[in-house]
Amino acid sequence: DQQVKQNSPSLSVQEGRISILNCDYTNSMFDYFLWYKKYPAEGPTFLISISSIKDKNEDGRFTVFLNKSAKHLSLHIVPSQPGDSAVYFCAASTSNTGKLIFGQGTTLQVKP
């Protein structure tokens, strides 16, 4: 039972363009969402998060959008840079559990 799904295994974009990574979830009890970035042979690093009381959070080139009615979130990277090439995981949590449920990941390739 995959509660958090990233249906696109890979995405390729041109440098300078927008990258949009998508994530869907099924559990309406999730109230906090995070995006992690992972380079090969390294552990995931936190990128950006959003609480369910918001619908948008921005941090520099990265913006996360949350659509609770559709149980969908997306990560926008503008402009995309070759150094953004990595695997991106979305994750979700419910209050007080401390646990994160991760999606399968999307491999982003940004071409120079």
Choose, by CB under 8 A, the member of 43, 60, 83, 112 that binds another protein.
43
CB of 89 to another protein, least distance (A): 6
Contacts to another protein from residues 71-100, by CB under 8 A: 89, 91, 93, 98-100
Output phi, psi for 92, to 5 deg.
-135, 155
Pairwise CA distance, residues 24 & 4, whole Å: 6
Pairwise CA distance, residues 70 & 25, whole Å: 9
Span from 13-21, 34-42, 61-69, 78-86 in contact with another protein (CB under 8 A): 34-42
Choose, by CB under 8 A, the member of 49, 52, 57, 109 that binds another protein.
49
Buried b / exposed e across 59-91, counting CB within 10 Å, b at 16+?
Answer: eeebbbbbeeeebebbbbbeebeeebbbbbbbb
Size of the site for another protein (CB under 8 A): 23
Longest dimension (CA), the chain: 43
Choose, by CB under 8 A, the member of 19, 25, 86, 105 that binds another protein.
105
Residues contributing to the site for another protein (CB under 8 A): 4, 6, 9, 32, 34, 36, 41-46, 49, 89, 91, 93, 98-100, 102-105
